[in-house]
Structure 1
Amino acid sequence: MAKAFTEDDDALLAELGVDVEVKKAVSRTPREERIIAGFEEIQRFSEEYGRTPEHGEARDIFERLYAVRLDRIRELQECRDLVESLDHQNLLSGSAATQPCDADELDDDALLAELGIEVEAPPITELKHVRSTAEKKAAENIAKREKCEDFETFKPLFEKIQKELDAGLRETRKFELKAEIEPGRFFIVGGQKAYVAEMGETTLTDQGRTDARLRIIFDNGTESNMLMRSLQRALNADGDAGRRITEPSAGPLFSDQTIDGDEASGMIYVLRSKSDHPLVAENRELVHKIGVTNMSVEKRIAGAHLQPTFLMANVDVVATYELYNINRTKLENLIHRIFEPARLDIEIMDRFGRPVVPREWFLVPLYAVNKAVEKIKDGTITDYEYDPGQARLIRRG
């Protein structure tokens, strides 16, 4: 057994130039110890897998929590300073993906909660074996996701949402506010569409924040009764991938009468060509150009015989529909997508002898165009597709 140094030993070592000063043990607060313990968990993950933890639904729940924790440590200067000397893996060299937060504005409990670390911790010597509150809650939420027994009731809603997204009637936007979470709203979380089917009674948390129990239906046929704040955290943890799906932008798109405050957006026009091209001449009553313009149709078709988009020929205007408060580009794309199966395959030489393939001409009867406009008006167009064989709109599926 090694003997302790005596005063004579110390003197001898001092004579030899050996530093005999005993380093003082660093005294840390419980808060600092817990932050360090949380960082060490991330380090152990990095050592085991050879990389930093990453976000994403495909990742293990604990990896995603470690990724969020690492983001917070990177952005909070107090935390960076505390663990920087321990960072032999250069984990702090990356950039944080979450919203910035000033550690000075947080008390001990709030800061540790931001880091996903258990606030009421057991003795310091046991901390490295403790699962954080955030980990427990996240695991609980995952465990509560179960098969949705009445999914057939919700399946048509998801199908309709996808059609409206494809048609441009709905959009996805980055999730921003908890207030956006309401019954009837759709979100994208972890790569899945999520529908808020029900919301329980609103309560207040210990921090004075509102919360409520939700019934969330997912498009893979599962459901969860997670809390509103749990859904909010999941959406925020997904970064830009956490999205909300907007309400349909097209209610009644057209109106015979304007309402105060309505602003004219343009005109759908349907044209018939006077071209002597054999394909056009043989199908004169079926070949139609369908477009959308923000100018008068007369001005739009001026000089048609000089433009390949008009088949280098004059045209007759056979139908127009006035628009109010509508995104013209999206609407035109929607109409062209509906009639894509009947798009006219034709090549025209422009006035310089160069070949051009116009894209807005279709082999469709006028009544089919009228029917499509009616379906756009009542918001049911995404339930239909055009069948060239029957020369009419048919219900999908």
Structure 2
Amino acid sequence: MSSSELEDLAAELADFAPPEKKAGRTAREERIIAGFEDIQRFVTTHGRVPQHGEDRDIFERLYAVRLDRLRALPECRELLRPLDHQGLLSGTPEDRMAVETPDIEDLAAELSEVTETNDITVLRHVRASAEKRAAEEIADRTPCKDFETFRPLFERVQTDIQTGMRQSQPIEAGRRGIEVGDFFVLGGLTLYIAEVGEPLKTTAGEIDRRLRVIYSNGTESNLLLRSLQRAFYNDPAARRLASPETGQLALDGEFDADDVESGTIYVLRSLSSDPYIAAHRELIHKIGVTRGKVESRIANAEHEATYLLAKVEVVATYKLAGIQRTRLENLMHRLFAPARLDITIHDRFGHPVQPEEWFLVPLFVIDEAVERIKDGSITHYIYDRESASLKPLP
């Protein structure tokens, strides 16, 4: 095809005729800037300028034609130079990896299904801005070649949800950003933030970042952070899979006033005069969870078999936020099951009772367990009764 036909196609995409000089930007100038911003978004997304070639997407080829036209017109270069933070206007066709002359008939055929309009103020053969933005915000997902590296993370997050160590929470704007190691649910898939790139400055002066996102179906994408945030906003079912290290579990004194309190883990020591209990008093502890006040829970301890029919003293408490109390209590009990106190007492009716919440565990080990729950490492440890310590899984 001739160069004049290519020029006609570019003219159809946008009216780049020199604008009339008057105060403020004209409608033509605004269209030129909008068209240039489309090209800038393409470069930010793909890391290269749009290229000609039959193997290229139709809209990439149109962006390439548009960029050639903008570079050729001095008035456009002058208008766009303050916005050209990527240096696109200073390039030449030789800068591109492959330059092929597009066939005008092929381009027209590919555009034939695009809705047209008879309004001469609207560019023909071009998708609506909202449609283009939506398409550009969804990066192509590709197979994740090293997914086996991430598979254990997805398996662990499922276990954490089942045990209550993670909570599915609505994504609230302004509460917490997107960071490496975060898990979310979007569009029915679990996704993991594997990498967060360096800051990128947009044409609007905002800061964006490129993300490496791994999906539970074995694919990945390189979304922009703001694109992912918009996707969360547009999906009412989107959730953050919050973990203890994001602040769900807090030690007494670290609990934030604006957190949603779930309850309290309490550690008790028995004041029983039973010879065995008295001899091991510093090691025997009851670990429980309550929604109310611990003091109210233990008020009648000496009359309840679960408290060994004796008064107790509170030796430690840990506040809970955004986590299921029962599941966390079960986790603690399973962890220290090898050291469960084997004792039988008779309740006030003379019936034998075997309390199950008392353990032969030093207090400092319970403290360590809570810290490991907070940082998420508890799933890699077991309690060793012989050494009275937490040990890494073999």
The TM-score normalised by the length of structure 1 is 0.46
The TM-score normalised by the length of structure 2 is 0.46
